[in-house]
Structures are given as structure tokens and as C-alpha cells.
């Protein structure tokens, strides 16, 4: 399966991916100037953290969130292998948050659902990779990921 | 190969999925005492609260047994396991033969020996029948006895239905196995803010009333009520295993080896009935929680289907969810003292950070995390969880771990130092290419 790869040399920490993810994926209005005033505030699924580095769900091969979810809300798309939250059935128990080894599931108390990256599964391309101005984020086959030289 | 699984909850279903990932053909017979298939026990309080209707309690779709070609015997009690002839017998005197057996019978709610316990309106909360009984009880005032996870969720559920509820706990704080006193105080205040009366350090001595319960007498008072929920804990449902002569542990759970096999060849156990090695406590322990049951069922299933796989060990993990308005997660041990096997050389440390609305605590043994409590800010709880599971030394990163700005990338130096323990592809990718 394909995973998102981030080139640490190219990531400048500009947060463009966060802005676009929050607007395009999370907001109702889909327009930044309006989105920032929405209540509840839209939350991006990508986190530009640390040094900096853009971090999204890794869609683990053995995903602890799938096992921890007590009502099958956390699901894996059999065709793409992508893991997503079926938001209508989420009961906000935060069991997935408790076990995510990357800390990328957001327990949204205002929306009462677990929020995480589904790698834009319904859009055909991940928005963060599309908008990254330096090309730091790209989509690669998992088996090729570690062959890349940095 | 003929597989038999006794039980129908997390461990059992997880084992079915693992067996089927390796063996599509062999017959699987599953026996459950519950009439209702595939419902999630941990969601029963949500059913009582009218937040989830019955179909939404399912954690797998209704066609799960058909899809996985499992013959499910719902509502059928297994009465005997015979390890010699490798058969089981059901209550209707039928015999079934197995090559591999999984005991995933879970736990039974403890019914404390309090005078008057058999009065109407008093119920445990463990089975679907329990949940329906509580849901259908017409009452105006309830007492919940035992302030563990289920007790807290039950009293909030009843409150949401407009029933005036009192929570009674005989130990000095709410959720005593989950939180320390400081975190428990935050949680208790939140519970009280919902209009629930909480009495800790107070024991139920007897129930009053003729046929139907009319009150609970404690050391300090009498609380009038017309319904009572008992949530004082669970014990392993290990009777079948005891009668079959399987080795039972100190905590009365079925003792298993690292491949989830019991003391008898080809008989496995997983979930709340199994006593496993606890990573945090470094001792055998009962961790009767959903994620452990799922992991153990998974490992048991793989081993039963022929792929030898070791279970790294269990550790407690609890999340209180959105019930109290703020997230609160706890894992491992809550205090250094609760570690069973303490050697003289072991060095324990507890680190706490408290702000107005948040609390964070780490418990370390020899520089390795053995317990964590996070209240308020919980998104990075999984990072603590993985460091606990892998038992790597984090002594030089304490300020970082206590910071709300902690990110996975900050842990890369720790991961690199212990690269052999982080062999999963997801970690390797980031170890190789990250900062």
C-alpha cells in the first residue's frame, strides 16, 4: 500500500498542509477566511510538529486503533488498506487515542468524535501532498519507503 | 483441523479473525452463553443512557459469522471440557470434538454478600440481560455501588435518563484501580457537577425494603432508592477450566504461556478469563479490559492456526471517554507501590504536573515507564503506551514526556537507541527518514 513520506530536508514548517487540511477536509465552508470563524473550529488531521516534520496517520499494518475500538467505528478500507473513522457511530470513548503509537488521533470534545487522517480516501489524492510548496510530502509505496536516500 | 471457541466477545471474535487469516477452510464452532451475538459489553452503559440502540452496540456486522463461516451456538452453555478425549459437552448433552480449543469465557460480575442482595431492583451490569433489566426498571432514585469504570459510566447513564443517582465507593476515592487520588479528585468533581451524589470511603451494609429495594444502609447513612446497580468488579469465569484440571493462577484466572496456551496442550485461553504476564507489574495479573482481550484473542488465534507467535504481555489501559466532559486516560500501575515484584535494586520514580484543568503523571521503574495518567490533555497518551509496552529507558527525556508539546518525532532518539525493539515497518520508516 501507499504511505505518505515526508522529506525532513524539504519540510520548512510552513504549516500549509495543516491550513489546507483544516479547510478542505475539516471545515464546512471550505474557505479559509470563513473556516477560521466556524464553531466548532475545524481541526486539521496533519500535525507539523517538532523540528519541524509533518505527521499524519501511518495506517499501520497491525493497527492498535482497530483492535481497541469497541464498536467497529475504526475501520480499514479493504481495497486501499487505509484506516478511517466512521464518524456517525463514534461514541467518543477515546480508546483509539489511548493506543495510537504516533499520537495523531485527536479526541475532539466539541465534535465528540475521534479525528484522524484518512489520507483523503474519498478524494483520490492527499491534500497535504498536493499543497506542500516545497514538495516535502509525497505518496510512495510502503515497500519503497525505506529505499529512499535522504 | 477443528476449532472450538467458548465465548463470543472481544477475545473470541478476534481469535476468529486471526484463525481465518491463516486457515479459510477448517470448521469453527463458537459457543456463547449470550443470546445476542457480537455486542460490545463496554457499551452497555451507553445502551442504558439511550445513546445507542441495540443494533449500534455491535462491534462487528451481523453477517460476521456467515462471512467467516463460523457455526455460532448462541445461548448455549458449555458444561464440560474433557482434555483427554478433546471434546466439550453442552448443556443439552451434546458432545463436540476439537483439535484446538480457545477458552474465552470472560468474567462474571461479583455479587457482594450484602444482606438483602436478592431484593427486586438490584442488578449487576455485565450481560445484555443485565442491561435490559436496568433499562426496563422503572425508578426515580438509584444507588450505584462500586465506582470503577462501569460504576461511573452507569451512574452517569442513569442520570442522563433523569434518575437521581448516588455513587457509593468503599475505598477512599473514585476509580481506585484506574486513577491516583489527585486524578480521581478531578474526575469526582466532574461527576458531582452532573448532579450525582458521590460518597467514598463508605460501605453498603444492607438493603432495606420488602420485595423491592427501598434503600441502602451504609456506615454513615441510609440512602433511599428504588434501584441499585452493583459494579464492584469482575472475576474470571474459569469454572470450566478448573473442572478440566487446567492450571489456575493466584488471581483465579487461567494461567497461560507466552503463546496463550494453557497448561494443557492444544487448549488456549484469552481475554478476561486469562491471567497473563503484566509488563508494568512484572508479575502475572488479570487485566480484564477490551484492548487486552482483543490482543490476546489475536495471538491465541494465530497460534491455534499454526503460526507460533509470542504475546509481549498485557498492561492495563483505561479511557473514561466523553462521559465526564474531559478526556482522562490511565495505563499500567497508578502508584509505584502497586508493583508486586519489587527487588531491592529497583528504583521507582513518580513525576507529576498539575495545572487547573489538567494532570499528568508518570510512574517509572529503573527509568522505564510502568504507569501513566493523563487528564485533560490526552492526545499523546499512545506515545506513553508504546514506551510502556516496549520497556525502553526514557530517564533522559522526562521533561519532554511531561510536556504537552510532546510529538512522536521527539521520541526518535529513544527509538533509534532501541531500534531492535521498534521493528514494525511504521517505526522503521520514521527512524530511517526522520529527523
CATH of A1-56+121-143, one of 3.30.70.20, 2.40.37.10, 3.40.50.1970, 3.90.1200.10: 3.30.70.20
Residue B325 confidence (pLDDT): 86
Q: What is the reported pLDDT for A150?
A: 47
- C-alpha to C-alpha distance for A4 and B48, rounded to whole angstroms: 42
What total number of domains does chain B contain? 3
Which pLDDT value is given to residue B56? 92
Distance, in Å, from the CA atom of B59 to the CA atom of B44, rounded to the nearest integer, reads 12
For the domain that residue B396 is a member of, what is the CATH number? 3.30.390
**What is the reported pTM?**
0.94
Tell me if chain B has a CB within 8 Å of the CB of A91.
Answer: yes
- Based on the fold, state whether residues B103 and B240 are members of the same structural domain: yes
Confidence at residue B342, expressed as pLDDT on a 0 to 100 scale:
62
Do B155 and B183 lie in a common domain?
yes
Backbone torsions φ then ψ of A48, nearest 5 degrees: -85, 105
Who among A72, A148, A150 is closest to B59 (CB)? Answer: A72
Same domain for B71 and B134?
Answer: no
- Out of B304, B336, B362, pick the residue that ends a domain: B304
Same domain, B224 and B241: no
Which of A83, A56, A55, A80 minimizes the C-alpha distance to A67? A83
Q: Which of these three, B169, B203, B230, is where a domain ends?
A: B230
Q: Does B231 touch chain A (CB under 8 A)?
A: no
Residue in chain A nearest B323 by alpha carbon: A93
pLDDT band at A129 (very low <50, low <70, confident <90, very high): very high
- Are A1-56+121-143 and A61-116 in the same CATH fold? yes
- Burial class from Cβ neighbours inside 10 Å (0-12, 13-18, 19+) for residue B310 reads exposed
| Minimum mean pLDDT range among B312-321, B337-346, B380-389 | B337-346
Please check whether residues B202 and B285 belong to one and the same domain.
Answer: no
Residue B153 lies in a domain: yes
How does residue B429 score in pLDDT terms, banded at 50, 70 and 90?
A: confident
Query: Does B247 map to a domain?
Result: yes
Q: Does A99 touch chain B (CB under 8 A)?
A: yes
- ipTM field: 0.92
3-state secondary structure of B182: helix
| Contact between chains at A91 and B378 (C-beta distance less than 8 A) | no
* Interface contact A99-B42, CB threshold 8 A: no
Number of neighbours of residue A144 by Cβ within 10 angstroms: 11
Chain A: residue whose CA lies nearest to B400: A50
Which chain B residues are within 8 Å of A46, Cβ to Cβ?
Answer: none
User: Which residues in chain B have Cβ-Cβ distances shorter than 8 Å to A100?
Assistant: 382
- Note whether B264 contacts A: Cβ–Cβ < 8 A: no
Q: Which helix (H) or strand (E) holds B97?
A: strand B95-97
Give the range of the structural domain holding residue B224, as residue numbers without chain letter: 122-230
- pLDDT greater than 90 at residue A142: no
Verify that B141 and B71 share a domain, yes or no. Answer: no
- Within-domain flag for B21: yes
The full set of domain ranges for chain A reads 1-56+121-143, 61-116
- What's the rounded Cα separation, in Å, for the pair A116 and B321? 16
Q: Could you give the C-alpha distances from A55 to A3, A99, A116, B341, B379, in angstroms and in order?
A: 12, 17, 11, 39, 14
Residue B319 lies inside a defined structural domain of this protein: no
The whole-number pLDDT of residue B341 equals 60
Residues B258, B213 share a domain: no
Q: Which helix (H) or strand (E) holds B398?
A: helix B398-402
Q: Is A97 close to B382, i.e. CB distance below 8 A?
A: yes
**For residues B76 and B31, what is the distance between their CA atoms, to the nearest angstrom?**
6
Same domain flag for B67 and B15: yes
CATH number of the domain residue B161 falls in = 3.50.50.60
Q: Kindly indicate whether the domain formed by A61-116 is annotated with CATH number 3.40.50.1860.
A: no
Q: Do A50 and B409 touch (CB under 8 A)?
A: yes
Cis bond before residue A52 (omega within 30° of 0): yes
Residue with cell 470434538: B97
Amino acid at each position: 500500500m501507499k504511505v505518505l513520506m515526508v522529506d525532513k530536508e524539504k519540510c520548512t514548517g510552513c504549516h500549509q498542509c495543516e491550513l489546507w487540511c483544516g479547510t478542505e477536509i475539516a471545515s464546512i465552508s471550505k474557505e479559509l477566511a470563513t473556516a477560521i470563524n466556524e464553531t466548532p473550529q475545524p481541526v486539521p488531521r496533519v500535525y507539523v510538529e517538532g523540528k519541524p516534520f509533518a505527521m499524519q496517520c501511518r495506517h499501520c499494518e497491525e493497527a492498535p486503533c482497530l483492535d481497541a475500538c469497541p464498536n467497529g467505528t475504526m475501520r480499514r478500507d479493504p481495497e486501499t488498506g487505509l484506516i478511517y473513522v466512521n464518524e456517525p457511530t463514534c461514541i467518543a470513548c477515546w480508546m483509539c487515542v489511548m493506543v495510537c503509537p504516533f499520537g495523531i488521533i485527536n479526541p475532539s470534545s466539541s465534535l465528540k468524535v475521534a479525528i484522524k487522517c484518512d489520507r483523503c480516501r474519498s478524494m483520490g489524492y492527499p491534500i497535504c501532498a498536493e499543497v506542500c510548496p516545497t514538495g516535502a510530502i509525497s505518496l510512495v509505496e510502503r515497500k519503497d519507503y525505506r529505499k529512499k536516500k535522504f | 483441523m477443528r476449532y472450538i471457541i467458548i465465548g463470543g466477545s472481544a477475545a473470541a471474535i478476534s481469535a476468529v479473525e486471526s484463525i481465518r487469516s491463516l486457515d479459510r477452510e477448517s470448521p469453527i464452532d463458537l459457543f456463547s452463553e449470550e443470546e445476542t451475538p457480537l455486542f460490545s459489553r463496554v457499551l452497555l452503559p451507553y445502551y442504558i443512557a439511550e445513546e445507542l440502540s441495540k443494533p449500534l452496540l455491535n462491534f462487528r456486522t451481523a453477517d460476521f459469522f456467515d462471512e467467516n463461516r463460523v457455526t455460532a451456538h448462541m445461548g448455549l452453555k458449555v458444561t464440560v471440557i474433557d482434555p483427554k478425549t478433546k471434546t466439550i459437552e453442552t448443556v443439552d448433552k451434546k458432545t463436540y470434538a476439537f483439535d484446538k480449543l480457545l477458552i474465552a469465557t470472560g468474567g462474571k460480575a461479583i455479587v457482594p454478600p450484602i444482606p438483602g442482595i436478592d431484593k427486586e431492583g438490584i442488578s449487576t451490569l455485565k450481560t445484555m440481560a443485565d442491561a435490559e433489566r436496568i433499562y426496563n426498571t422503572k425508578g426515580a432514585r438509584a444507588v450505584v455501588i462500586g465506582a470503577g469504570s462501569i460504576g461511573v459510566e452507569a451512574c452517569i447513564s442513569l442520570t442522563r435518563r433523569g434518575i437521581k443517582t448516588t455513587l457509593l465507593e468503599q475505598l477512599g476515592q473514585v476509580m481506585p484501580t484506574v486513577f491516583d487520588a489527585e486524578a480521581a479528585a478531578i474526575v469526582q468533581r466532574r461527576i458531582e457537577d452532573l448532579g450525582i451524589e458521590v460518597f467514598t470511603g463508605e460501605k453498603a451494609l444492607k438493603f432495606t425494603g420488602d420485595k423491592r429495594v427501598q434503600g441502602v444502609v451504609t456506615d454513615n447513612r441510609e440512602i433511599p432508592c428504588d434501584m441499585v446497580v452493583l459494579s464492584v468488579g469482575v472475576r474470571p469465569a474459569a469454572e470450566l477450566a478448573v473442572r478440566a484440571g487446567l492450571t489456575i493462577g493466584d488471581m483465579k484466572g487461567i494461567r497461560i504461556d507466552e503463546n496463550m496456551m494453557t497448561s494443557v496442550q492444544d487448549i488456549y485461553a484469552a481475554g478476561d478469563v486469562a491471567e497473563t504476564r503484566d509488563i508494568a507489574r512484572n508479575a502475572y495479573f488479570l487485566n480484564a479490559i477490551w484492548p487486552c482481550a482483543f490482543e490476546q484473542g489475536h495471538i491465541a488465534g494465530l497460534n491455534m492456526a499454526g503460526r507460533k507467535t509470542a504475546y509481549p504481555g498485557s498492561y492495563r489501559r483505561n479511557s473514561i471517554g466523553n462521559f465526564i466532559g474531559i478526556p482522562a486516560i490511565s495505563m499500567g500501575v497508578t502508584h509505584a507501590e502497586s508493583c508486586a515484584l519489587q527487588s531491592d535494586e529497583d528504583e521507582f520514580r513518580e513525576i507529576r504536573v498539575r495545572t487547573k484543568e489538567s494532570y499528568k503523571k508518570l510512574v517509572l521503574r529503573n527509568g522505564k515507564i510502568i504507569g501513566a495518567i493523563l487528564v485533560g490533555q490526552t492526545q499523546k497518551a499512545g506515545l506513553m503506551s508504546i514506551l510502556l509496552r516496549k520497556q525502553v529507558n526514557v530517564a533522559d527525556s522526562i521533561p519532554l514526556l511531561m510536556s504537552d508539546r510532546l510529538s512522536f518525532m521527539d521520541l526518535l532518539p529513544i527509538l533509534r537507541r532501541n531500534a531492535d525493539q521498534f521493528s514494525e515497518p511504521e517505526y522503521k520508516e520514521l527512524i530511517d527518514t526522520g529527523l
